[in-house]
Amino acid sequence: MGPEPRPEPPMSTLEDPRTRTAMAVASHLALLLVWYLFVKFGHVPKYVMPSPVDTAQTLFAGNYHWWDNVLVTATEIYGGYLVALVVGVLLALAFTWSKPLEALMMPLLVSLNMIPKVALGPLIIVWFKYGVVPNMLIAFSICVFPILLTTVRGLREVEPDLLDLVRSLRGSRWQTFTKIQLPGALPYIFSGMKVAAILAVAGAVVGEFLGSDKGLGYLMLQVQVTLDTAAMFMAVLLITLTGMLLYGAVIAMERLIVVPDARVG
Protein backbone atom coordinates (compact mmCIF):
# COMPACT_ATOMS: atom_id res chain seq x y z
CA MET A 1 0.00 0.00 0.00
CA GLY A 2 1.46 3.33 -1.03
CA PRO A 3 0.96 6.62 0.79
CA GLU A 4 -2.04 8.60 -0.35
CA PRO A 5 -1.11 11.67 -2.38
CA ARG A 6 -2.32 15.00 -1.05
CA PRO A 7 -4.93 16.57 -3.28
CA GLU A 8 -3.67 19.75 -4.98
CA PRO A 9 -6.09 22.64 -4.49
CA PRO A 10 -7.23 24.18 -7.76
CA MET A 11 -5.00 27.12 -8.66
CA SER A 12 -6.63 30.52 -9.11
CA THR A 13 -5.05 33.11 -11.41
CA LEU A 14 -3.75 34.96 -8.37
CA GLU A 15 -1.74 31.93 -7.29
CA ASP A 16 0.05 31.76 -10.61
CA PRO A 17 3.57 33.05 -9.83
CA ARG A 18 3.79 34.89 -13.17
CA THR A 19 0.59 36.82 -12.49
CA ARG A 20 1.86 37.74 -9.05
CA THR A 21 5.21 38.95 -10.41
CA ALA A 22 3.46 41.03 -13.03
CA MET A 23 1.22 42.60 -10.38
CA ALA A 24 4.19 43.37 -8.13
CA VAL A 25 6.01 45.09 -11.00
CA ALA A 26 2.84 46.98 -11.88
CA SER A 27 2.40 48.44 -8.37
CA HIS A 28 6.02 49.61 -8.30
CA LEU A 29 5.75 51.25 -11.71
CA ALA A 30 2.46 52.85 -10.70
CA LEU A 31 4.11 54.46 -7.67
CA LEU A 32 6.87 55.88 -9.91
CA LEU A 33 4.23 57.23 -12.30
CA VAL A 34 2.18 58.85 -9.52
CA TRP A 35 5.38 60.42 -8.15
CA TYR A 36 6.31 61.72 -11.60
CA LEU A 37 2.83 63.13 -12.32
CA PHE A 38 2.55 64.67 -8.86
CA VAL A 39 5.82 66.57 -9.26
CA LYS A 40 5.15 67.56 -12.88
CA PHE A 41 1.57 68.79 -12.50
CA GLY A 42 1.58 69.72 -8.82
CA HIS A 43 4.16 72.45 -9.36
CA VAL A 44 6.20 71.10 -6.44
CA PRO A 45 9.54 72.92 -6.10
CA LYS A 46 12.51 70.66 -6.87
CA TYR A 47 14.06 71.22 -3.40
CA VAL A 48 10.90 69.88 -1.79
CA MET A 49 10.44 66.93 -4.08
CA PRO A 50 12.50 66.12 -7.14
CA SER A 51 10.98 64.07 -9.93
CA PRO A 52 12.14 60.50 -10.60
CA VAL A 53 14.09 61.87 -13.55
CA ASP A 54 15.91 64.48 -11.41
CA THR A 55 16.71 61.79 -8.88
CA ALA A 56 18.07 59.41 -11.49
CA GLN A 57 20.25 62.14 -12.96
CA THR A 58 22.21 62.52 -9.72
CA LEU A 59 23.65 59.06 -10.37
CA PHE A 60 25.69 60.48 -13.24
CA ALA A 61 27.11 63.43 -11.33
CA GLY A 62 30.62 62.46 -10.17
CA ASN A 63 30.74 64.66 -7.07
CA TYR A 64 28.60 62.32 -4.96
CA HIS A 65 30.99 59.33 -5.11
CA TRP A 66 27.98 57.01 -4.96
CA TRP A 67 29.89 53.80 -5.33
CA ASP A 68 32.39 54.56 -2.54
CA ASN A 69 29.60 55.61 -0.20
CA VAL A 70 27.52 52.53 -1.01
CA LEU A 71 30.53 50.33 -0.24
CA VAL A 72 31.02 52.00 3.15
CA THR A 73 27.38 51.69 4.16
CA ALA A 74 27.15 48.12 2.83
CA THR A 75 30.26 47.16 4.83
CA GLU A 76 28.67 48.52 8.00
CA ILE A 77 25.35 46.79 7.41
CA TYR A 78 26.64 43.41 6.25
CA GLY A 79 29.54 43.36 8.70
CA GLY A 80 27.38 44.13 11.72
CA TYR A 81 24.79 41.66 10.49
CA LEU A 82 27.21 38.77 10.02
CA VAL A 83 28.79 39.27 13.43
CA ALA A 84 25.30 39.41 14.97
CA LEU A 85 24.36 36.16 13.22
CA VAL A 86 27.41 34.28 14.48
CA VAL A 87 27.25 35.73 18.01
CA GLY A 88 23.46 35.30 18.24
CA VAL A 89 23.43 31.64 17.19
CA LEU A 90 26.45 30.70 19.33
CA LEU A 91 25.04 32.42 22.42
CA ALA A 92 21.71 30.67 21.89
CA LEU A 93 23.53 27.34 21.59
CA ALA A 94 25.45 28.03 24.81
CA PHE A 95 22.13 28.73 26.55
CA THR A 96 20.63 25.41 25.49
CA TRP A 97 23.72 23.61 26.75
CA SER A 98 23.81 25.33 30.12
CA LYS A 99 20.55 25.91 31.98
CA PRO A 100 22.21 28.03 34.72
CA LEU A 101 23.81 30.24 32.07
CA GLU A 102 20.43 30.67 30.40
CA ALA A 103 18.67 31.41 33.70
CA LEU A 104 21.35 33.99 34.46
CA MET A 105 21.73 35.65 31.09
CA MET A 106 18.35 35.47 29.33
CA PRO A 107 16.53 37.91 31.64
CA LEU A 108 19.48 40.30 31.39
CA LEU A 109 19.48 40.09 27.61
CA VAL A 110 15.74 40.64 27.49
CA SER A 111 16.23 43.80 29.57
CA LEU A 112 19.13 44.93 27.39
CA ASN A 113 16.91 44.36 24.38
CA MET A 114 14.57 47.03 25.78
CA ILE A 115 17.26 49.70 25.46
CA PRO A 116 16.64 51.61 22.27
CA LYS A 117 19.90 50.75 20.54
CA VAL A 118 19.83 53.98 18.57
CA ALA A 119 20.18 55.83 21.89
CA LEU A 120 23.48 54.02 22.41
CA GLY A 121 24.88 55.62 19.25
CA PRO A 122 26.41 58.71 20.90
CA LEU A 123 28.01 56.51 23.57
CA ILE A 124 29.47 54.12 21.03
CA ILE A 125 30.95 57.09 19.24
CA VAL A 126 32.48 58.37 22.50
CA TRP A 127 34.01 54.95 23.14
CA PHE A 128 35.12 53.97 19.66
CA LYS A 129 35.43 57.28 17.77
CA TYR A 130 33.48 57.55 14.59
CA GLY A 131 33.92 55.47 11.46
CA VAL A 132 33.00 52.16 9.91
CA VAL A 133 33.62 49.96 12.96
CA PRO A 134 31.45 51.92 15.47
CA ASN A 135 28.64 52.00 12.90
CA MET A 136 29.03 48.26 12.43
CA LEU A 137 28.74 47.96 16.20
CA ILE A 138 25.49 49.91 16.24
CA ALA A 139 24.13 47.70 13.46
CA PHE A 140 25.31 44.64 15.41
CA SER A 141 23.75 45.75 18.69
CA ILE A 142 20.41 46.35 17.03
CA CYS A 143 20.20 43.05 15.11
CA VAL A 144 21.79 40.55 17.48
CA PHE A 145 18.69 40.39 19.69
CA PRO A 146 16.08 39.20 17.20
CA ILE A 147 18.52 36.54 15.98
CA LEU A 148 19.42 35.43 19.50
CA LEU A 149 15.86 35.37 20.80
CA THR A 150 14.39 33.49 17.83
CA THR A 151 17.26 31.00 17.87
CA VAL A 152 16.81 30.32 21.59
CA ARG A 153 13.13 29.77 20.95
CA GLY A 154 13.79 27.50 17.96
CA LEU A 155 16.33 25.40 19.85
CA ARG A 156 13.89 25.07 22.75
CA GLU A 157 11.03 24.05 20.52
CA VAL A 158 12.36 20.49 20.12
CA GLU A 159 10.02 17.72 21.26
CA PRO A 160 11.32 16.28 24.56
CA ASP A 161 10.60 12.76 23.28
CA LEU A 162 12.92 13.38 20.34
CA LEU A 163 15.70 14.31 22.76
CA ASP A 164 14.92 11.13 24.70
CA LEU A 165 15.27 9.16 21.48
CA VAL A 166 18.77 10.54 20.92
CA ARG A 167 19.67 10.05 24.57
CA SER A 168 18.48 6.43 24.51
CA LEU A 169 21.01 5.89 21.68
CA ARG A 170 23.64 7.64 23.82
CA GLY A 171 24.00 10.34 21.16
CA SER A 172 26.32 13.25 21.91
CA ARG A 173 25.27 16.86 22.49
CA TRP A 174 26.85 17.77 19.22
CA GLN A 175 24.80 15.11 17.38
CA THR A 176 21.66 16.40 19.06
CA PHE A 177 22.56 19.91 17.94
CA THR A 178 23.50 19.15 14.33
CA LYS A 179 20.89 16.48 13.58
CA ILE A 180 17.88 17.66 15.58
CA GLN A 181 18.12 21.11 17.15
CA LEU A 182 19.79 23.21 14.48
CA PRO A 183 17.75 21.95 11.50
CA GLY A 184 14.63 22.22 13.66
CA ALA A 185 15.52 25.78 14.68
CA LEU A 186 16.38 26.97 11.17
CA PRO A 187 12.88 28.24 10.36
CA TYR A 188 12.99 30.31 13.57
CA ILE A 189 16.53 31.52 12.92
CA PHE A 190 15.51 32.67 9.46
CA SER A 191 12.52 34.58 10.79
CA GLY A 192 14.89 36.37 13.20
CA MET A 193 17.35 36.95 10.37
CA LYS A 194 14.68 38.62 8.27
CA VAL A 195 13.76 41.05 11.05
CA ALA A 196 17.45 41.67 11.74
CA ALA A 197 18.18 42.39 8.07
CA ILE A 198 15.83 45.37 8.19
CA LEU A 199 17.11 46.58 11.57
CA ALA A 200 20.76 46.35 10.52
CA VAL A 201 20.18 48.95 7.80
CA ALA A 202 18.56 51.34 10.27
CA GLY A 203 21.42 50.84 12.73
CA ALA A 204 24.16 51.58 10.21
CA VAL A 205 22.45 54.66 8.81
CA VAL A 206 21.71 56.11 12.26
CA GLY A 207 25.37 55.58 13.07
CA GLU A 208 26.32 57.56 10.01
CA PHE A 209 23.93 60.36 10.98
CA LEU A 210 25.45 60.57 14.44
CA GLY A 211 29.04 60.72 13.40
CA SER A 212 30.96 59.61 10.37
CA ASP A 213 32.96 60.94 7.49
CA LYS A 214 31.71 58.65 4.76
CA GLY A 215 28.74 56.52 3.78
CA LEU A 216 25.29 57.22 2.37
CA GLY A 217 23.91 58.54 5.69
CA TYR A 218 26.84 60.95 5.95
CA LEU A 219 26.28 62.04 2.34
CA MET A 220 22.62 62.78 3.11
CA LEU A 221 23.61 65.21 5.84
CA GLN A 222 26.12 66.87 3.49
CA VAL A 223 23.62 67.46 0.67
CA GLN A 224 20.85 68.43 3.08
CA VAL A 225 22.70 71.67 3.79
CA THR A 226 22.38 72.71 0.15
CA LEU A 227 18.79 71.43 -0.16
CA ASP A 228 19.97 68.94 -2.78
CA THR A 229 16.84 66.88 -2.30
CA ALA A 230 17.40 64.83 -5.46
CA ALA A 231 20.67 63.47 -4.04
CA MET A 232 18.93 62.74 -0.73
CA PHE A 233 16.28 60.77 -2.59
CA MET A 234 18.98 58.82 -4.41
CA ALA A 235 20.79 58.11 -1.14
CA VAL A 236 17.59 56.76 0.41
CA LEU A 237 17.03 54.64 -2.67
CA LEU A 238 20.55 53.21 -2.54
CA ILE A 239 20.28 52.51 1.20
CA THR A 240 17.01 50.70 0.51
CA LEU A 241 18.58 48.67 -2.30
CA THR A 242 21.55 47.74 -0.09
CA GLY A 243 19.10 46.47 2.54
CA MET A 244 16.98 44.67 -0.04
CA LEU A 245 20.06 42.84 -1.29
CA LEU A 246 20.64 41.49 2.22
CA TYR A 247 16.98 40.64 2.73
CA GLY A 248 16.86 38.93 -0.67
CA ALA A 249 19.96 36.90 0.14
CA VAL A 250 18.36 35.73 3.40
CA ILE A 251 15.14 34.75 1.61
CA ALA A 252 17.08 32.92 -1.09
CA MET A 253 19.07 31.03 1.51
CA GLU A 254 15.90 30.11 3.37
CA ARG A 255 14.33 28.76 0.17
CA LEU A 256 17.47 26.72 -0.44
CA ILE A 257 17.82 25.27 3.05
CA VAL A 258 14.43 25.10 4.76
CA VAL A 259 11.88 22.61 3.45
CA PRO A 260 8.56 24.32 2.64
CA ASP A 261 6.54 22.52 5.31
CA ALA A 262 8.86 23.66 8.10
CA ARG A 263 8.92 27.40 7.31
CA VAL A 264 7.74 29.94 9.85
CA GLY A 265 6.10 33.04 8.39
Residues near other proteins, by CB under 8 A? 1-6, 159, 161-162, 164-171, 175, 179-180, 183-184, 186, 258-259, 261-262
Residue 259 three-state SS: coil
Task: Check: CB of residue 181 under 8 Å from CB of residue 155.
Answer: yes
**Least distance in angstroms from the C-beta of 183 to other proteins:** 5
**How far is Cα 53 from Cα 214, in angstroms, rounded to an integer?**
26
Looking at beta carbons only, is 1 or 14 nearer to other proteins?
1
- Of 184 and 211, CB closest to other proteins: 184
Q: How far is the CB of 212 from other proteins (least distance, A)?
A: 42
Give me the least distance between CB of 187 and other proteins, in Å please: 9
DSSP class of residue 264?
Answer: -
Q: Which residues of 10-26 are buried (b: 16+ CB within 10 A; e: fewer)?
A: eeeeeeeeeeeeeeeee
- Identity of the residue, 15 or 159, whose beta carbon is nearer to other proteins in the bound complex: 159
Rank residues 43 and 161 by Cβ distance to other proteins and give the closer one: 161
By C-beta, is 73 or 176 nearer to other proteins? Answer: 176
CA–CA distances in Å: residue 117 to residues 143, 159, 199, 215: 9, 34, 10, 20
Rounded least distance, CB 92 to other proteins, Å: 19
Nearest distance, CB of residue 255 and other proteins, angstroms: 13
Q: Considering the complex, what minimum distance in angstroms separates the CB of residue 174 from other proteins?
A: 11
- Pick the closer one to other proteins by CB: 68 or 157: 157
Q: How far is the CB of 170 from other proteins (least distance, A)?
A: 4
Give one DSSP letter per residue of 12-75, joined into a string.
Answer: PGGGSHHHHHHHHHHHHHHHHHHHHHHHHHTT--TTT---HHHHHHGGG-GGG-HHHHHHHHHH
Exposure class string for 191-205: b at 16+ Cβ within 10 A, else e: bbbbebbebbbbbbb
Using only C-alpha atoms, the chain has a radius of gyration, in whole angstroms, of: 23
For other proteins, the closer of residues 20 and 167 by Cβ is: 167
Q: Do the beta carbons of residue 209 and residue 123 sit within 8 Å?
A: no
Q: CB–CB of 198/243 below 8 Å? A: yes
Cα(222)–Cα(72) distance, integer angstroms: 16
Least Cβ distance, residue 89 to other proteins (angstroms) = 17
185 or 219: CB nearest other proteins? 185
